[in-house]
């Protein structure tokens, strides 16, 4: 069966919303240096000034421009999401497919490790390691990817196992193809959609975790992050400032995560024929 996934996602209402939101966000983040009126760390105005034409979202306790901070926060979220998603997704594919193809002791060993890692809450691990390292962007991506890959590896392995049973793979084996060739030519390409779903899921969780870690003050304090903005703003709930300081990063974060949820929900419905039927029925 050949399905044009982008076409399907665009036809799914939720998927479409998610896709457009992410694209908008990516645009804002990419153009942050042009859109942001001030460098995010510069103290450019009086503390706690309300929104004005100079400061669209006002300023924080030390007089930094909140709108600029918000734009640069989007960059962090997206870079962390994409980076950790890609990295974790790649590790998942490498471990999952090799495990499925090689089998035997290697497979049991990999899956034992994966199962063990799966029962440990990744956020707790990340907090523990983060508390020592005070991670900045790159270390944060490495850290999150390190705890995110096991779930994907299980899914990819299951998918690779079912792909392995396909006749085309059997045919390739009869031509004398080796494991590497089969992995590269037959399994990985067909894994595409599942891989994509895994990565979106990982990216979603990475953004979530980055915000959480920053909110707890685990990350490097110089990292521009929505989570950190919220942590700082939370101390001033007795002032009116929460309206332009606390809500915007929270909403931006929620929208980003929701957009990715919609995307992965849509993708899941496309990938799962049973839910696919449900979607058609629901249209009646």
Residue 22 or 183 with smaller CB distance to other proteins:
22
If binding is defined by CB under 8 A, does position 199 make contact with other proteins? no
147 binds other proteins (CB under 8 A): no
Q: How many CB atoms lie within 10 A of CB 1?
A: 3
β-strand partners of 159: none
82 binds other proteins (CB under 8 A): no
Nearer to other proteins, 4 or 115 (CB): 115
Nearest-approach distance from CB 253 to other proteins, in angstroms:
6
The window from 29-37, 44-52, 190-198, 213-221 that contacts other proteins (CB under 8 A) reads 213-221
**Least separation in angstroms between CB 124 and other proteins:** 5
Q: Considering only residues 14, 26, 28, 82, which one is a binding residue for other proteins as defined by CB under 8 A?
A: 14
Work out whether 161 is an interface residue with other proteins (CB under 8 A): no
DSSP state of 236: T
Can residue 218 be called a binding residue for other proteins (CB under 8 A)?
Answer: yes
Cα 169 to its chain centre, rounded Å, is 32
Is residue 9 near other proteins by the rule CB under 8 A?
A: no
Query: Angle at which helices 273-282 and 247-271 pack, to 10 degrees?
Result: 110
Residues 96-135 that bind other proteins (CB under 8 A): 112-113, 115-117, 119-121, 123-125, 127-129, 131-132
> Is residue 23 a contact point for other proteins (CB under 8 A)?
no
The Cα 282–Cα 280 span in angstroms is 5
3-class SS shares of the chain: helix, strand, coil, % to 5: 75, 0, 25
Stretch that binds other proteins, among 29-37, 135-143, 181-189, 246-254 (CB under 8 A): 246-254
Q: How many Å apart are CA 245 and CA 54, to the nearest integer?
A: 15
β-strand partners of 65? 59
- CA dihedral (219, 30, 122, 158) in degrees, to 10, reads -160
CA atoms within 13 A on the CB side of 237: 5
Q: Residue 32 corresponds to which tokens in the numbers above?
A: 């942050």
Residues that bind other proteins (CB under 8 A): 14, 112-113, 115-117, 119-121, 123-125, 127-129, 131-132, 208, 211-212, 215-218, 230, 234, 237-238, 242, 246-247, 250, 253-262, 265, 274-275, 278, 281-282, 284
């Amino acid at each position: 069966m050949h399905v044009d996934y982008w076409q399907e996602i665009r036809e799914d209402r939720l998927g479409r919303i998610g896709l457009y939101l992410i694209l908008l966000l990516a645009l804002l983040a990419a153009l942050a240096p042009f859109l942001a009126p001030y460098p995010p760390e510069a103290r450019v105005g009086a503390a706690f000034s309300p929104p004005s034409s100079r400061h669209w979202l006002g300023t924080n306790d030390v007089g930094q421009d909140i709108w600029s901070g918000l734009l640069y926060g989007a960059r962090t979220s997206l870079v962390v999401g994409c980076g950790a998603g890609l990295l974790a997704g790649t590790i998942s594919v490498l471990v999952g497919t090799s495990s499925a193809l090689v089998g035997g002791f290697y497979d049991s060993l990999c899956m034992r490790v994966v199962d063990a890692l799966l029962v440990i809450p990744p956020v707790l691990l990340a907090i523990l390691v983060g508390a020592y390292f005070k991670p900045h962007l790159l270390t944060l991506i490495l850290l999150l990817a390190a705890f995110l890959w096991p779930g994907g590896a299980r899914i990819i392995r299951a998918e690779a196992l079912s792909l392995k049973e396909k006749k085309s793979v059997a045919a390739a084996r009869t031509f004398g193809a080796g494991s590497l060739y089969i992995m590269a030519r037959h399994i990985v390409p067909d894994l595409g959609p599942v891989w994509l779903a895994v990565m979106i899921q990982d990216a979603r969780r990475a953004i979530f975790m980055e915000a959480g870690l920053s909110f707890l003050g685990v990350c490097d304090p110089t990292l521009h992050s929505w989570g950190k903005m919220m942590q700082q703003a939370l101390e001033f709930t007795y002032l009116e400032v929460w309206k332009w300081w606390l809500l915007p990063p929270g909403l931006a974060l929620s929208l980003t995560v929701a957009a990715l949820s919609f995307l992965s929900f849509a993708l899941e419905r496309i990938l799962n024929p049973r839910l696919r039927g449900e979607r058609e029925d629901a249209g009646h």
